[in-house]
Structure formats: structure tokens, C-alpha cells
Chains A and B, each alone.
Chain A
């Protein structure tokens, strides 16, 4: 967690996939100050997306981020992903869904609330 699912009509080339993964991981961590170890990305191909959409991003993120932070994430994802897949930001659909950290276990531990990652890492290491 977070878990991002990238949906496209056709399969993306491996180097493009890696760029998409790097962008999502970097932007998520830069904006939310989360640690990259948490960031998961799945690709779903062959999805008959809406006609005005070239790439769909669905992210399940930990609850507790402000609307301002989420808006920043949407903008960052749309702009960066549009460049990678040679599209326009308006043709990138970005959807974020909140999940309470206390509902998720990763590496055998319940996830920390946003902002408490360093203490959490220290406590389990």
C-alpha cells in the first residue's frame, strides 16, 4: 500500500512500463513523503477504456491525505504519465481511493498512519 493499477488498451513496452513505475513511485513519495518500499504498481492490459482516456490510474492510498495533497498527486500523475505514453494530461484518468492504514498489514505489521513511517520502520527493524 499504496497500490496503483495502471490500465491501458494495449500492452506497454517493458521500458515504458518501468518509466511509468518510476514516475508513480517517485511522485507518490515526493508528494506524500511515504517510503518507496510501500509503493506497488500493477498493470492491467486490454482494458476497453472510455474513448477520451488513453491511460487510467487507480490508486488505493492510505487515508489521511488532504484534498490539496490529492489534487497535487492527480496533477503530477497526469502530467508525467501523459509525457511517457505520448498523450495529453486530459486523456489520463487518475482516481484515488482512501484506505485506513489500520486495515492493512504489510511485512507482518499493520501499516503506520501517514507521517509515522520512520518511527514505524525503526520499530520493526
Chain B
């Protein structure tokens, strides 16, 4: 059975070129297949963080944060090599230094939980409106750039 894994890439707006993003998506799919079987599939969502809205150690930062969904309770001896390969892939394609990347390989149910916490920020009926706006942004980006992308800000 084909299994889809969600990957959330939070990056500083304009920091990673669109062509590189598409290459990374292609290579990430190969990586998932290599680690978890030919049936694996992925959905990558790029979250654009405007410059000046990300900080690390108290200073404005350009660190990218990648959250990869993996099978629940994946053994550590499988999880670590996968994370290492994601890091390697990122550095190969972006040429960004290692200290500008945080990669998590989280259980699928944990990723869903974090997304639900994020949705719960929004009150009542507005959740539906926000969700529809996000879907519109993602589809517009897919049509325009070939990848799914949305802004961390919801006022767009």
C-alpha cells in the first residue's frame, strides 16, 4: 500500500531557490523509498518565514527547520541514518552550513498532534476560514511554482 509522509520545511522567504526546492523534493522521495520501501510517497509543504521573523540564540536567524513524518515508533537505528541522509541531501543541494539546519524525524501521530496544536490557536468558526485560505495559498503556489508553499503569516 502506498504510504504518504508529510514533510514541513520552514525556510526563510527567498532563501532557497524554487529549482532547488523541486530537486530537493525529488531527492527526498528517493530517500524515503530507499529507507522505507518503494511504496513510500511524500507531501512536502514549504512554510515561508519572512526575514526578521525567525530567531536563534536571541538573534535574527536564517536556520531552516525540517519536520519529516515517519512511521510511528520507528526504531532509532533506522531513524538516525534517515535524519543523517536528509541533512546530507540538504547540504548538497543548498550549500548552506550545517549550523543552519534543524531536522526532525517525528512519528506520524506526533506530527498530526503538532499540527492540531497549531490549528487550535485559532478560535471557533475561523478555523475553517483559515484552513480554506491555506488550501488556496498551497494550490496557487503549486500552479505557479510547482511546489506547495504557504506563508507562516495568516493575513495574506
Binding site for B on A (CB under 8 A): 1, 3, 5, 7, 14, 17, 21-22, 25, 36-51, 53, 56, 58, 60, 93, 95, 97, 99, 102-108, 110
Contact = CB atoms under 8 A, between A and B. Distances in A.
A42 B49 contact: yes
Given A3-B65, A46-B155, 20 more contacts: A14-B52, A37-B56, A38-B57, A40-B55, A40-B56, A42-B10, A42-B53, A42-B54, A43-B152, A44-B154, A48-B123, A53-B123, A99-B104, A103-B107, A104-B103, A105-B83, A106-B101, A106-B102, A107-B101, A108-B87
Nearest to B113: A97
Nearest to B80: A110
Interface of B: 10, 49, 52-58, 61, 63, 65, 76, 79-80, 83-84, 87, 98-99, 101-107, 110, 113-114, 117-118, 120-124, 126, 129-130, 152-156
Contacts of B53: 17, 42-45
A107 B123 contact: no
A49 B58 contact: no
A47 B154 contact: yes
Contact of B65 (A40, A93, A108): A40
Q: Which 10 A-B pairs have the closest CB atoms?
A: A46-B155, A50-B123, A108-B98, A43-B53, A48-B126, A41-B55, A45-B153, A46-B154, A21-B55, A56-B121
Q: Which of A14, A38, A45 has the most CB of B within 10 A?
A: A45
8 contacts: A5-B152, A17-B55, A45-B152, A53-B123, A99-B104, A102-B79, A104-B102, A105-B83
Contacts of A60: 114
Given A22-B58, A25-B57, A99-B110, A40 B98 contact: no
Contacts of B49: 42
A123 to B, nearest CB: 15
Contacts of B87: 105, 108
B114 A40 contact: no
B128 to A, nearest CB: 11
Given A21-B58, A42-B53, A50-B122, A103 B104 contact: yes
